[in-house]
A and B are shown apart, each in its own frame.
Chain A
């Protein structure tokens, strides 16, 4: 109910804006958030966690482009907290990362964030302290543009995914340090061995197991942390979050992945999804049957349900161990079939960076992996490259092209190589083999354009998030390369992104998997030079047009 009221309110705002009575009005909204201990009921279990304004997820913050926002955040916890506005371009002191942007917010303290809104689209916010985010401290942000959107829709919904675990984040981290396979309940068993012998022969099966055994790595290590209940807007699969539509309406779904660790393969059987924005920025529309949303990414998709019936929003975890489920329906209380999950994927030697080209003998992923066009954002022969469940189009990064580039294209002034490294057995994650606590900051000069080369030497997929500045993902489209805030780097691949260094100050740069970031896959970035004082009110950087 609250959601639809907010929608009416914001549609009202948009209407009043478009009447041109107030063409250059600068909004100055004040918002209040309290950080509270809350109970989170997933349908499978109820767990004490952290939320905003008494709930997890927190509210949808609806801002307007050009607005000067004041956000009062009151910490009602007994520990320090913080809020990071994920993807927002703002002065670094407002970025909300303890020990980098500011000291954090002490218990009982109210911190006032004040910054101008210089962009549009779908974003989110979350705590950047300890494991408060996996414990429930997240919410969403929707920013309406001054100008008309490049597409039309009748209503919009935030569809925010998370992977709520019955264990607290702190306990998960400790268990992973004690036994890195603590939460992996998809390990290969004697039964799998026998069925593989049956399928591939004894010799091939033994040699496969010996290959993995000699590396002391697991082909099943697609999801470090299993045993969670996926939620959509705080609702478990049984609780079935439902968005109402009138048949033939265009509905904009603002997909946000606020998971601690889990990628989701999202589809709505019976509906095509037209991707119109990625990480808040408009992209040239591309119609797909299914997409994979990495941790911390956002996608805006348009759907047009024509029939007077319910449609299931289905998000299977990348490891196919659990699914999120919601419903789009003309009326409350309706539901549609829930699809089966696919066969659980296994990593291949290609994902391990060993260029075997084609897999010899062993072919676990044939059900999903084969017959699809190669996606260059996965290793050749990867076991985790996705294909659409209905055989149709699965979104690739290659499909993402900016609607309107944020920056002029130019040659990068230098390249910085970041090898994504780790030791699964010890649950240590690092960059260039060095953990955050032992690393020097990455120094950038204001005004340069840096090309980051991510080389993933681990078997995990890492969503790399640079704060404060855009990461222009090199999809090979030149000036049309899309600007993102989070770049997913699959195992055994090298991915490039470019950043126009246009924000003075110090920023965080890290893998957005909560337990990888905490284990050390994290860097401080210091931008030197530029405007002397990064004033809290001036910007002029990376403004979407």
Chain B
């Protein structure tokens, strides 16, 4: 804890520097930043659904404390509305060699009502190279929900990578207004084949994504005339800089 407090001023300082990154002479040496888009893609569904989807994060900070933005969303290109859109700002700190905890606020603002959440999470690298990110959310309506992301990289070559991934969303009580039922309410599984064209900065990919809603959530979706499970073909690029 002392370490975090010690590093806090330098992080605030570096945040102040975030915009004018030109004066690097006086930049604190142990502050780093990064930005990546794990998913940045066009999705074409089996019934003609067309979506643009992204899932990315950015950080600035030290080994001990990072400020992290995470964002993801799905924009329906046919009706030009966000089906999902989420932004989160957290502070993140290591708790072991391979694991970090984070805590912050999340704001979801798709078509329909918005929600604020308090979020706490655990992210890191599990044995056998599984990348894990899991979070617990408490909404302004007092509803508790959670999600879990798992990702793995299969190197076909050192440039050609097959990435299976899965996301599970769980709600512990339903929030009818935003179409969330209690229980496991959705699962998304993806398989993407990417090629590092330019360092790790730009890696275009093709892939498939399967999305399935369950229980009440599925009912809500079907009531709107959409299908509870969809296959998508995706094309996009991983970005990292």
By a beta-carbon cutoff of 8 Å, the part of chain A in contact with chain B is: 78-80, 130, 170, 173-175, 177-179, 182, 185-191, 210, 213-214, 216, 423, 425-426, 428, 435, 437-438, 518
Contact = CB atoms under 8 A, between A and B. Distances in A.
B1 to A, nearest CB: 14
Nearest to A178: B34
Contact of B32 (A178, A187, A216, A423): A178
Interface string B1-36: 001000000000000000000001100011011101
Given A130-B29, A178-B32, A182-B200, A425 B155 contact: no
Interface in B29-77: 29-30, 32-34, 36, 63
A177 B31 CA distance: 10
B128 A214 contact: yes
A121 B158 CA distance: 43
A179 B34 CA distance: 10
Contacts of A435: 63
Given A210-B128, A425-B98, A190 B29 contact: no
B183 interface: no
B172 interface: no
B156 A216 contact: no
A296 to B, nearest CB: 21
A426 B129 contact: no
Contact of A216 (B29, B129, B199): B129
Given A174-B33, A213-B128, A425-B97, A185 B156 contact: no
B159 A178 contact: no
Interface of B: 3, 24-25, 29-30, 32-34, 36, 63, 94, 97-98, 125, 127-129, 154-159, 199-200, 240
A173 B62 CA distance: 13
Contacts, number: 59
Nearest to B35: A178
Contacts of A187: 155, 158
12 contacts: A80-B25, A179-B200, A182-B199, A182-B200, A185-B159, A186-B158, A210-B128, A213-B127, A213-B129, A214-B128, A425-B97, A428-B63
Contact of B34 (A177, A188, A216, A426): A177
Given A178-B240, A214-B127, A216-B125, A189 B156 contact: yes
A189 B157 contact: yes
Contacts of A80: 25
Contact of B98 (A173, A185, A216): A216
A267 B128 CA distance: 39
A187 B155 CA distance: 8
A395 B129 CA distance: 38
Given A179-B240, A210-B128, A216-B125, A185 B158 contact: yes
B30 A437 contact: yes
A188 B156 CA distance: 9
Given A187-B158, A188-B155, A426 B32 contact: no
Nearest to A215: B127
A191 B33 CA distance: 34
A216 B127 contact: yes
Nearest to B3: A438
A189 B34 CA distance: 26
B150 to A, nearest CB: 15
Nearest to B33: A174
A437 B129 CA distance: 30
Q: Looking at chain B's contact residues, is the secondary structure mostly helix, strand, loop, or mixed?
A: mixed
Given A178-B240, A182-B200, A189-B155, 10 more contacts: A174-B33, A178-B32, A178-B34, A182-B199, A185-B159, A187-B158, A191-B156, A210-B128, A425-B125, A426-B97
Contacts of A437: 30
Nearest to A77: B25
Nearest to A424: B97
A517 to B, nearest CB: 11
B63 to A, nearest CB: 5
Contacts of B25: 78-80
B157 A191 contact: yes
A174 to B, nearest CB: 5
A182 B154 CA distance: 16
Contacts of B3: 438
A186 B156 CA distance: 12
Contacts of A78: 25
A189 B63 contact: no
B241 to A, nearest CB: 9
Contacts of A79: 24-25
Contacts of B154: 190
B194 to A, nearest CB: 14
A428 B3 CA distance: 15
**Most B Cβ at <10 Å: residue of A178, A213, A438:** A178
Contacts of A185: 158-159
A174 B128 contact: no
Contacts of B29: 130, 518
A423 B155 contact: no
A473 to B, nearest CB: 31
A178 B199 CA distance: 13
Nearest to B130: A213
Contacts of B63: 177, 426, 428, 435
A246 B190 CA distance: 66
A428 B62 CA distance: 11
A191 B158 CA distance: 10
A182 B201 CA distance: 10
Contacts of B240: 178-179
Q: Which 6 A-B pairs have the closest CB atoms?
A: A178-B34, A213-B128, A177-B32, A189-B155, A185-B158, A79-B25
Nearest to B94: A426
A214 B130 CA distance: 11
Given A130-B29, A178-B32, A426-B63, A190 B156 contact: yes
Contacts of B129: 213, 216
A271 B240 CA distance: 47
B203 to A, nearest CB: 12
Nearest to A192: B155
A311 B227 CA distance: 72
B158 A189 contact: yes
Nearest to A437: B30
Nearest to B162: A190
Contacts of B125: 216, 425
